[in-house]
């Protein structure tokens, strides 16, 4: 048996592992498209713990598990004893005795880490305040699928220093591309993983046009993430000039892709002409959540599958 692994942040896998996972995701996607039944996880159970709302994460994990012949169990903290104060350590010990793999969407990263420390089975981060590894996994797969290697490319992030942009930054170092962020003063990136990011991989701008110049990907996200709702009004004012418009897209390369993890607020962080326009790949990103997460689940439970 291989050692148990968790996927709690993007740095938990190496570049070689990502190359394998992307190859595997493409194979799993092709099998599904061909109508081929591939059910390596019959009798296996994925527990999904949600302390925040979700559409894509729930559907992609649940559909993926069903396709694998397994079962996914949807647990909202408000309906479980977790919502009534049961310690996360106890919840982890109990749930991991009855299931084979767990996905957790929660607030602080420390919660998912404490869960993993007490779990008998692999744990996947389905979004925390700090990171969203499954999202960037799908986004990079989407870029590669459409355009080849992301190495040496430029990703312009117009917006908040949040779970998504922090995960892009971790990925920049692993895949050797550059993240150029444009954000209002006071919203600059705070690096949490103790790593140093040099100018080859990361640069901050206050002007969205400058950040978007010659970019291969332009991407953004809501200015107020889940859990930060009390800051909504202030953030709406502060991010007023950080919307991805057609003018911002014109600064990027002619073949640049627009990405957004969704859900989006048209007219706030992105204009409808951009998200619903020809450069947008947001629906592929959403679908690819399922194919790439299937590759991760398979890898964590069965190791490398050679076919």
Catalytic residues: 105, 132, 135, 221, 261, 289
Look at residues 288, 296, 295 and name the one whose alpha carbon lies nearest to residue 146.
288
Candidates 82-90, 148-156, 206-214, 220-228: pick the segment binding ligand NVA (CB under 6 A): 220-228
Query: 62 contacts which partner out of ligand CP, ligand NVA, none, CB within 5 to 8 A by kind?
Result: none
What tokens appear for 99 in the block? 């299931």
Site for ligand NVA in 236-275 (CB under 6 A): 261
Rounded to the nearest whole angstrom, what is the least distance from the CB of residue 37 to ligand NVA in the complex? 31
Residues in contact with 32: Cβ distance below 8 Å, sequence separation at least 6, in sequence order: 38, 67, 291
Q: Are 205 and 180 in contact (CB under 8 A)?
A: yes
Does residue 96 belong to the site contacting ligand NVA (CB under 6 A)?
A: no
129 is in an annotated binding site: no
Rounded to the nearest whole angstrom, what is the least distance from the CB of residue 2 to ligand CP in the complex? 28
CA distance 94 to 128: 22
CA distance 179 to 10: 15
Max Cα–Cα distance, the chain, nearest Å:
54
CA distance 169 to 191: 9
Does residue 60 belong to the site contacting ligand NVA (CB under 6 A)?
A: no
Rounded to the nearest whole angstrom, what is the least distance from the CB of residue 131 to ligand NVA in the complex? 10
Rounded to the nearest whole angstrom, what is the least distance from the CB of residue 226 to ligand CP in the complex? 8
Site string for ligand CP, 134-153 (x = CB under 6 A): -x------------------
Of residues 14 and 53, the one with the C-beta less far from ligand NVA:
53
Of residues 267 and 278, the one with the C-beta less far from ligand NVA:
267
Query: 225 contacts which partner out of ligand NVA, ligand CP, none, CB within 5 to 8 A by kind?
Result: ligand NVA
Residue from 9, 57, 219, 288 in contact with ligand CP (CB under 6 A):
57
Q: Are 101 and 297 in contact (CB under 8 A)?
A: yes
Rounded to the nearest whole angstrom, what is the least distance from the CB of residue 56 to ligand CP in the complex? 4
CA distance 137 to 296: 10
Does residue 262 belong to the site contacting ligand CP (CB under 6 A)?
A: yes
CA distances from 160 to 109, 163, 221, 222 (A): 18, 9, 7, 8
- List residues bridging with 204 in a β-sheet: 181
Does residue 128 belong to the site contacting ligand CP (CB under 6 A)?
A: no
Sign of the four-CA dihedral 45, 283, 23, 154: negative
225 is in an annotated binding site: yes
CA distance 110 to 129: 10
Does residue 54 belong to the site contacting ligand CP (CB under 6 A)?
A: yes
Site for ligand CP in 204-243 (CB under 6 A): none
Backbone angles phi, psi at 113, to 5 degrees: -70, -40
Q: Are 11 and 268 in contact (CB under 8 A)?
A: no
Of residues 105 and 291, the one with the C-beta less far from ligand NVA:
105
Judged by the rule CB under 6 A, the positions of this chain that interact with ligand NVA are: 127, 162-164, 221-222, 225-226, 261
Judged by the rule CB under 6 A, the positions of this chain that interact with ligand CP are: 54-57, 127, 135, 261-263
């Amino acid at each position: 048996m291989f050692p148990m692994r968790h996927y709690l942040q993007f740095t938990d896998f190496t570049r070689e592992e990502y190359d394998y996972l992307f190859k595997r995701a493409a194979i799993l996607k092709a099998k599904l498209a061909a109508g081929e039944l591939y059910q390596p996880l019959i009798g296996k159970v994925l527990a999904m713990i949600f302390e925040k709302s979700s559409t894509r994460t729930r559907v992609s994990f649940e559909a993926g598990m069903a396709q694998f012949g397994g079962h996914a169990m949807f647990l909202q903290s408000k309906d479980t004893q977790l919502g009534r104060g049961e310690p996360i350590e106890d919840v982890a010990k109990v749930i991991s005795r009855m299931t084979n793999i767990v996905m957790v969407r929660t607030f602080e990263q420390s919660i998912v880490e404490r869960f993993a420390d007490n779990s008998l089975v692999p744990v996947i981060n389905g979004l925390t305040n700090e990171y969203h590894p499954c999202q960037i996994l799908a986004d990079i797969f989407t870029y590669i699928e459409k355009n080849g290697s992301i190495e040496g490319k430029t990703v312009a992030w117009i917006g908040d220093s949040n779970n998504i942009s922090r995960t892009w930054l971790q990925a920049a170092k692993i895949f050797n591309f550059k993240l150029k962020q444009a954000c209002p003063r006071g919203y600059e990136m705070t690096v949490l993983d103790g790593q140093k990011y040099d100018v080859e991989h990361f640069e901050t701008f206050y002007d969205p046009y400058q950040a978007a110049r010659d970019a291969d990907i332009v991407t953004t996200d809501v200015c107020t993430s889940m859990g930060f709702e009390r800051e909504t009004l202030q953030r709406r004012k502060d991010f007023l000039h950080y919307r991805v418009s057609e003018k911002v897209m014109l600064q990027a390369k002619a073949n640049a892709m627009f990405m957004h993890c969704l859900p989006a607020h048209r007219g706030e962080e992105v204009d409808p002409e951009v998200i619903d326009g020809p450069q947008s790949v947001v629906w592929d990103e959403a679908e690819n959540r399922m194919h790439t997460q299937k590759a991760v689940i398979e890898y964590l439970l069965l190791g490398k599958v050679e076919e």
